[in-house]
Copies of this chain bind each other. A is one copy, B any other.
Amino acid sequence: MKYDALFARTGGFLHGGDYNPEQWLDRPDILEEDIRMMKKAHVNVATLGVFSWSVYEPVEGEYHFEWLKEIADRLYENGIYFILATPSGARPAWMDERYPEVMRTTVKRVKNLHGQRHNHCITSPKYRALVREMDERLAKEFGSHPGLLAWHISNELGGECACPLCEKKFQAYLEQKFDGDIEALNKAWWTTFWSHRYNRFDQIEIPASHGEKSIMGLNLEWRRFTSENTIDFMNQEIEVLRALTPDVPITTNFMHSYPLLDYNRMAKPLDFVSWDSYPCYNNNYESLAKTSFDNALDHITMRSFKKDKPFLVMESVPDLVNWHDYNHAKRPGVHFITAMQSIACGSDSVMYFQWRKSRGSFEQYHGAVVDHLGRDDTRTFKAVTELGAALEKIKEAAGSVCKSSTAILYDWDSRWALDDAAAFSKKTKNYVKTVGSFLNICLKNGVEADVISSVEPLDDYQVVVAPMLYLLQPHTAERLKQFVERGGQLIATYITGYVDENTLCYLGGFPGDGLKDLFGIYVEEIDTLYPKQANGVRFTDGTVWKAADYCEVIRLNGAQVLASYTDDFYAEEPAVTMKQTGRGTAYYIAARCEEAANAAVLRRAWDAAGIARKALPAGVEYHRRYKEHTAYDFYLNYNSAPVQIQMEAAYSLLDDKEVSGEITIPALGVMVCRVQL
C-alpha cells in the first residue's frame, strides 16, 4: 500500500474550498484581494467551476473559458492549486427553455419548472449529450493545467425523476434484473396478494402515493434504480474526463448519510471519496462531544469506502450555515477541533464552502472564510488562518490511513427496505442512528472501526457488528458464517435477517437464510413499545439496563444466554445470547438496549478477539493514522475543561516537542503526535 498524500505536490493537506470568482468579474479589486487573503490564510486549493455553466456558455454554443483560465493561472502563480467541477449541477435558463425534457418530474408526476439546482432528468439523453459536450470542452481547456489537482463531478448529485423517460428506463432495468421473466418478478414481489400481479414489464409504473406504493419490492427497486441511474449519469461524465485526461483523478462530493444514493456503490468508480460536512454544533439538545461523535460516523463511513487512501472533506464551514433550523455561530475553538477531527478520521483536507460570501441569492448568508464585511481580522478569518498554519505543522501525516479491527455494517439496501417496511413503528426505526450508536461505543473505547456495506470483504476484521441488518443480500448469511467459523466475533441485533434481497420474509424463523443456526436463536415475536414504555435486560453479572422501542421475544436454538428480560410477559426470556461456531462467536442482542448493555457485548467480543481498548476520558476522541513505520495519534478533547491523557513517548507536532506520561489537553484542545512503530 502506498501512503501518499492524495496530492503530494501540494506538500501536505489541502486547505481551501469553493471559489466562485465569476460572481466578481466586474470587481478586479476583490479578485486581487482574494489572492492576498488566501495566502494569508494558508490556502492551497480552490474548487472552481461549480455551477458555472451559464458563464461558460451564456447562450447556446457560445463558450467563454478565458476568464477562468486567467484566474486559474493567477492562483497557480500564487501557489494555489485547483479542483475543477463539471457544471452539471445547475443548468442555464436557455437550456430549460429550449430542451424542456431536461427538467425533472416529481413522483407526483408534476413536471418541474426551470430553477433551483439538481433539477435535471437523470435519464435525459439530451442533457447527457449537453453535459458530455461541456465536459469535453473543459477537459480540453483545463486538462493539462499544472494547477489542476482533480475533477469534481457535478455537485451533490441526488434526487429522483419520474418522467416517462425514467419510467421506461426503470422498466428496462427490471426486465433485465428479472431476465425478462415477469412471473419471477411477480413471485419476488409477492404480487398475488392484493391482486397486484403484472402481465408485462411495461405495465409497471414508478411508485407513487397516488398510484402503487404498497409493493415493497417495487419500492425497493425504485430506490435501487434511482441510485444506479444517478451513478450511471456520473459514470458518463467520468468516462469523458478519463478518456481525455487519464492522469487526473476524479471525485464527486457526497452528502453524509444521504438517503437516496447507495454511496458504497457510487464510490467504486471514483478515484477518491469526498464529502460535505455540516453538523449543528453547540445546539440545545446534546453536547459538543455527542454532535462530533455522530459526525465521526460520517467521516468514517466515507473513509471506509476506500480504506487504502485518505478522503477529502470537500465542503465544511468555518462559521455557520444558512439552512439549519437555527444558524448558530460556531463557538471559538470549535472550528479547530472539528476540522482536526476530519484529519484524525483520515481526511487529507479541510475545505470550505465557500471562500467569499455571495452578495445575493440563496446562499448569501452561508458562512464563508471572507464575509460581506471583507476584513481579514474577523474571528472566522483568524480561525481559518490558525487552522491553515496547524495543517502545515502536521503536513507529514498527509497520506496516512487508519486501520480498523472492527467493522460496523451499514447497508443502503437494509435502510431502504426497513424505512419502507410497514411494520414496527414508523417513528422509531432509526436505522442510521442505531448504526451510529455502535460506532459511539467504539469511539468511547478507543477502538478504531470501519463502517462498511455487508457486501464488502470481512477478512481484515476481528469483530463485526451488524445492527438491524433487516435485509440480507445473497451470500451475506454465508459470508457471516464463514467469518465466525474462522474466528470472527459477530454481533447482531433485533430486526436482523427478516427479508431477502427482494423483501420477501424468510420462512421458518428470523434471522433468516441460516442465521438462526449461526446465532442459535429464532425470533418468535417482536414487541414494539410505545414511547415511555420500557423493559429491562439483566446480564448474568447482575447488571440491569433499559430496553425500549423494540424487544424481540426469542427462543433458544443452541445459544447460551448472556442476559434476560426483567419484565412483562417475556420476563426471564433470553434478551442477549451468544453461540460459538468454529473458532468464533455470534452474539445476538434481541432488544434496543441502552448503550451500556451494547458496550458490554462489544467489550466481550473485543476481549475474545484480543483487541485492546484504550482508556479515554469522556468526551475525548482518539484516532491513529498509519504511514509505513510511523503512526500519528490524534487526541481531540471536546470538553469545556482540560483532561489528562496517559501517553507513550511521542512527538507532539503542534507543540513541536517530545511528550510522554501524563499529558494535559486543554478544553477543545487537539494533540497530534508522531509515534515510531
A interface with B by C-beta (< 8 Å): 20, 22-23, 26, 51-55, 58-59, 87, 90-94, 97, 106, 108-110, 112-117, 187-199, 203, 205, 207-208, 210-217, 283-285, 319-320, 322-323, 325-329, 331-332, 357-365, 371-375, 378-380, 421-428, 502-510, 522-533, 553, 568-569
Q: Given the known A-B contacts A358-B190, A525-B329, A528-B327, are A214 and B59 also in contact in the complex, defined by CB atoms under 8 Å?
A: no
Top 8 closest pairs, chain A to chain B, by CB:
A113-B211, A190-B360, A115-B212, A365-B423, A284-B530, A214-B362, A329-B527, A54-B197
Q: In the complex, what residues of B have CB within 8 A of residue A109's CB?
A: 113
17 pairs, CB–CB < 8 Å, chain A vs chain B? A23-B190, A51-B193, A54-B195, A54-B196, A93-B197, A97-B203, A106-B210, A112-B211, A190-B360, A215-B361, A365-B424, A372-B506, A372-B510, A373-B508, A373-B524, A374-B509, A379-B524
Q: Which of A26, A213, A423, A503 neighbours the largest number of chain B CB atoms within 10 Å of its CB? A: A423
Check A58 against B422 for contact (C-beta < 8 Å).
no
- Are A194 and B90 in contact, CB atoms less than 8 angstroms apart? yes
Given contacts A87-B195, A328-B529, A374-B508, 6 further A-B contacts (CB under 8 A): A115-B205, A215-B360, A325-B425, A329-B525, A363-B422, A364-B505
The answer, among B215, B361, B421, B427, for a CB contact under 8 Å with A191, is B361
* Bound Cα distance A387, B509 (Å): 25
CA distance A213 to B116 in the complex (A): 7
Q: Give the shortest distance, in Å, between A85 (CB) and chain B (any CB).
A: 12
Contact B326 A530 (CB under 8 A): yes
A55 to B193, CA, bound (A): 10
Q: How far is the CB of A522 from chain B (nearest CB, A)?
A: 7
CA distance A94 to B197 in the complex (A): 9
Q: Cα distance A325–B422 when bound, in Å? A: 10
Q: Which residues of B contact A205 (CB under 8 A)?
A: 113-115
Provide the residues of chain B in CB contact with A193, threshold 8 Å: 20, 23, 51, 358, 360-363
Cα–Cα, bound, A160→B193 (Å): 23
Q: Which residues of B contact A53 (CB under 8 A)?
A: 195
Q: Tell whether, in the assembled complex, residue B197 and residue A92 are in contact, meaning their CB atoms are under 8 Å apart.
A: yes
A115 and B58 contact, CB distance less than 8 A: no
How long is the Cα–Cα vector from A13 to B195 in the complex, in angstroms? 30
**B residues less than 8 Å from A374 (CB atoms):** 507-509
Residue pair B112, A210 in contact (C-beta under 8 Å): yes
Q: Tell whether, in the assembled complex, residue B502 and residue A360 are in contact, meaning their CB atoms are under 8 Å apart.
A: yes
A108 vs B210: C-alpha distance in the bound complex, in angstroms? 11
A326 touches B422 (CB 8 A): no
The interface residues of chain B lying within 8 Å CB-to-CB of A365 are 421-424
Which B residues lie within 8 Å of A427 (CB)? 325-326
Complex interface: chain B residues within 8 A of A22 (CB): 192
* Contact indicator B529/A326 (Cβ below 8 Å): yes
Assembled-state Cα–Cα distance A526/B372 (Å): 12
Residue of B nearest to A328 (CB): B528
Q: In the complex, are the beta carbons of B190 and A332 less than 8 A apart? A: no
User: Which residue of B is nearest A22, CB measured?
Assistant: B192
- Residues on B with C-beta less than 8 A from A212 are 113-116
Docked-complex contact B112 and A323, CB < 8 angstroms:
no
Contact of A322 among B325, B422, B508 (CB under 8 A): B422
Determine the distance from Cα of A246 to Cα of B358 in the docked complex, in whole angstroms: 52
Question: Is A216 in contact with B530, judged by CB distance below 8 angstroms?
Answer: no
Residue of A22, A55, A362 with most partner-chain B CB within 10 A: A362
Q: Which residue of B lies closest to A533 (CB)?
A: B284
Which B residues are in CB contact (< 8 Å) with A199?
58-59, 92-94
Closest B residue to A380 by CB, please name it: B525
- Bound form: Cα–Cα A214–B118 in Å: 12
When the two chains form the complex, which single residue of B93, B115, B192, B509 contacts A23, counting CB atoms closer than 8 Å?
B192
- Cβ-closest chain B residue relative to A25: B192
B372 and A210 within 8 A (CB):
no
Residues on B with C-beta less than 8 A from A187 are 26
Complex CA distance for A285 and B114, rounded to whole angstroms: 44
Whether A524 lies near B378 (C-beta < 8 A) is yes
| Contact present for B528 and A329 (CB under 8 Å) | yes
In this complex, what residue of B is CB-closest to A427? B325
Contact partners of A380 in chain B: CB under 8 A: 525
Q: How far is the CA of A20 from the CA of B191 in the complex (A)?
A: 12
Contact residue among B26, B361, B372, B569 (Cβ-Cβ distance under 8 Å from A194): B361
Please measure, in the bound complex, the distance between the C-alpha atom of A191 and the C-alpha atom of B373, giving whole angstroms: 21
Residues of B within 8 A of A428 (CB): 326
Contact of B328 with A527 in the complex, beta carbons under 8 Å: yes
Tell me which of A190, A198, A358, A360 has the highest count of chain B C-beta atoms within 10 A of its own C-beta.
A360
Query: What residues on B are CB-neighbors of A361 within 8 Å?
Result: 189-191, 193-194, 196, 214-217
